[in-house]
Structure 1
Amino acid sequence: MMRNVYVAIYVLLLIAVVVGVDIIFLKSLFWLRLAANIGIVVVFAAVYFALLKNL
């Protein structure tokens, strides 16, 4: 049960970071925004698989 809570919080944090970066820094730069979003998702996935997968 707690694992589901951690994953939900982690996903909400991922969404908040992606939306925050899009709105604050990369509002009108489509390709740079897309690349940054992909990079953020890759970093979050790597951290998940490295640290949080065994919860």
Structure 2
Amino acid sequence: MERGTLTVLYAVLMIVAVVALDVLFFRNRFWERLIVNVGVVLIFLAFYLRFLK
């Protein structure tokens, strides 16, 4: 798979994970949702830098 395509798919997967967690678990909790979203992005960033870069 081309490098650009893989990066776009990875970003879409991250967005889907953040939105799914927001809708399923943290609908009316702003601070908890913000903390979990930042955590998810950091985890995806760590995996990206470790395995895809």
Task: Please report the TM-score for the alignment, with normalisation by the length of structure 1.
Answer: 0.94
Alpha-carbon distance, 1:28 to partner: 0.4
Q: How many residues align?
A: 53
User: Comparing both chains, which one has the higher relative contact order based on Cα–Cα distances under 8 Å and sequence gaps of 6 or more?
Assistant: 1
Task: Report % sequence identity.
Answer: 40
Task: Please report the TM-score for the alignment, with normalisation by the length of structure 2.
Answer: 0.97
- Which residue of 1 is the match for residue 31 of structure 2? 31
Moved over 2 A (4+): none
Alpha-carbon distance, 1:43 to partner: 0.1
- Which residue of 2 is the match for residue 49 of structure 1? 49
Instruction: Summarize deviations over 1:4-52 as a string: whole Å, max 9, x none.
Output: 0000000000000000000011000000000000000000000000000
Taking the aligned partners of 1:18 and 1:52, their CA distance within structure 2 comes to 20
- Which residue of 1 is the match for residue 13 of structure 2? 13
Please, what is the CA RMSD of the aligned residues?
Answer: 1.0
